[in-house]
Structure 1
């Protein structure tokens, strides 16, 4: 009996010992894996950094001149500022030590009141390389004011269309509005540019201004261009209220026709008429013998000749009258001589 008790006590003690040993080891065994080994803590793994790149800027204008003082801002892909700066006296600016990637370059100031800034642009930076950019700032446009005027009164005229350009290129077309003016902008390529202006449509009621005018303009500077027009000359139209007259307009006389003082009837045989008063030049012609009075006859017109007009009969009438006067005078003289001769032949009468 005693032996059984002893054996049970030994078994209980062994079981208790076994349990106690397990509880003591377990925490030690579980803690071993959680602690880093000395070698791992003293030599960490390092990731190699990629090669850096850069951006180099050269700043110019359209005339080829470098621009200093131009300000730029550089943003990364997330929109965070990576760098900023201004171009030097040679127009250059560099952004160094940039991780590879895509960047946004913004120009915030051109460095000159005559130039405009360029639009934003993306720049790709590659490992170990420099992205070189030449940025050209345009000149500011010239401000143009167009006026169309009456050349006499100076009144502003609407509806005038002009082309403005340089060389063989037309850069701007303007048409004056109701106020007789128009505005526009001319692109500039230098600090001073010569332009021409030519009118292609005149205001209503005015003649086209054909000559081409020239003017000079500068970047951002206002300039006024004036085109003058003369009124179109028109022939006055007849008044519709006036009624036409029924009287015909007399025609002018033909200068080739000569007026005649007398109308002479020409016989059908062509003989010229004898004036009635030329037959008896004076009172003594009645004493002439009948033979003497009829000795002279009127000359006849040659056969085959045409009848004369009244203008040609006048010299014949005058000539015929003259012949009759001469013939009458001769007959009178002859009659007187006969009387004298007869009285001489008879002699003195006997007493």
Structure 2
């Protein structure tokens, strides 16, 4: 038996359309955008060597680079969208980093950014010491400021020190003043105002010295020794109502302040003061007595003369 072979009709050959690959087709310039960065410091000087990284919306690195000698950096051919710009290094020992920020990239345009790096803050350390022993003292409070503005307030702790970051706005440093507002317990306030200059990123130490309080003024309830007051000098003279008691009345101090209580007491044997001045009457009475005595003497002398003149006639 002879076998037969059946041939199927030939299929029409068709060339399939290729499927485009989005990963292999670059975006045109009109479909992409970019970011240009200009880096400066607060004084306006451009900063070279600052490093930046650009992250896409998924947190993946889309671009990175450093600013050139003109302080510029360009990221190009970026797909449109929102990116996160992160400064990795300022490239300077004097400057600090800026916070991360979002950047929007639009098709066919470059997004310009001017980034200003602040100066690094100085680290200020406050110390309060005993002016003689040098012992560190807790509880000293000072204000630190510049111009008319108080920048920060520090209080020394149990170790006698306190530290904080101090903002600096100049490459050569910022001038600050220091004023103690509260002294440690048992010490006098340090009244002079001091000053110092803090440079970017540098530590600085400020020391106030306090003297121990030496005031020995007696309390109001105590009387100074060796100098009796007016109420003490009069308290040992009994009043008619007190009899022989030598204690001063409770309001003796008030009484002692009045002018009448400071007058010296009348000597024993003198007449009691009645409130009226008897001096004119005494002087008048004395005059009358003198006149009467002079008259009596004159009459006695006249009688003797008369007797002498009559004597010879009687013999």
Q: Does 1:135 align with 2:135?
A: no
**Residue in structure 2 matched with residue 184 of structure 1 by the alignment:** 164
Say which of 151, 174, 189 aligns to 1:208. 189
- Shift of the 231–84 alpha-carbon distance from structure 1 to 2, 3 Å rule, reads same
Say which of 213, 216, 238 aligns to 1:232. 213
Could you give the per-residue CA deviations for residues 302-347 of structure 1, whole angstroms, max 9, x where no partner exists? 4267xxxxxxxxxxxxxxxxxxxxxxxxxxxxxxxxxxxxxxxxxx
Q: Does 1:303 align with 2:288?
A: yes
Q: Secondary structure at the match of 1:28?
A: coil
Q: Does 1:164 align with 2:144?
A: yes
1:171 shift after superposition? 1.5
Which sections of structure 1, spanning at least 5 residues, go unmatched? 1-19, 241-247, 257-269, 271-300, 306-351
Say which of 22, 25, 33 aligns to 1:53. 33
1:161 shift after superposition? 0.5
In 2, the alpha carbon distance for the partners of 1:304 and 1:204 equals: 80
1:144 shift after superposition? 0.8
In 1, the alpha carbon distance for the partners of 2:206 and 2:289 equals: 88
In 1, the alpha carbon distance for the partners of 2:176 and 2:289 equals: 89
Q: Secondary structure at the match of 2:115?
A: strand
In 1, the alpha carbon distance for the partners of 2:97 and 2:217 equals: 60
In 1, the alpha carbon distance for the partners of 2:288 and 2:155 equals: 89
In 1, the alpha carbon distance for the partners of 2:122 and 2:181 equals: 22
- Shift of the 304–144 alpha-carbon distance from structure 1 to 2, 3 Å rule, reads farther
Which sections of structure 2, spanning at least 5 residues, go unmatched? 223-231, 237-263, 265-281, 291-315
Could you give the per-residue CA deviations for residues 73-110 of structure 1, whole angstroms, max 9, x where no partner exists? 22233333332211112211111222212222221110
In 2, the alpha carbon distance for the partners of 1:166 and 1:175 equals: 18
- Shift of the 69–28 alpha-carbon distance from structure 1 to 2, 3 Å rule, reads same
Q: What is the count of residue pairs matched by the alignment?
A: 229
In 1, the alpha carbon distance for the partners of 2:203 and 2:102 equals: 35
Task: State the Cα RMSD in Å.
Answer: 3.7
- Shift of the 138–45 alpha-carbon distance from structure 1 to 2, 3 Å rule, reads closer
1:237 shift after superposition? 5.2
Q: Does 1:112 align with 2:92?
A: yes
- Shift of the 45–101 alpha-carbon distance from structure 1 to 2, 3 Å rule, reads closer
Say which of 55, 63, 70 aligns to 2:50. 70
Could you give the per-residue CA deviations for residues 88-136 of structure 1, whole angstroms, max 9, x where no partner exists? 1221111122221222222111010111112222211100011001111
Q: Secondary structure at the match of 2:9?
A: helix
Flag the structure with higher helix content. 1
- Shift of the 41–175 alpha-carbon distance from structure 1 to 2, 3 Å rule, reads closer
**Residue in structure 2 matched with residue 318 of structure 1 by the alignment:** none
TM-score, normalised with respect to structure 1: 0.57
Say which of 152, 175, 199 aligns to 1:194. 175
1:249 shift after superposition? 6.3
In 1, the alpha carbon distance for the partners of 2:186 and 2:180 equals: 15
Q: Does 1:124 align with 2:104?
A: yes
In 2, the alpha carbon distance for the partners of 1:302 and 1:103 equals: 125
1:236 shift after superposition? 5.9
- Shift of the 87–28 alpha-carbon distance from structure 1 to 2, 3 Å rule, reads same
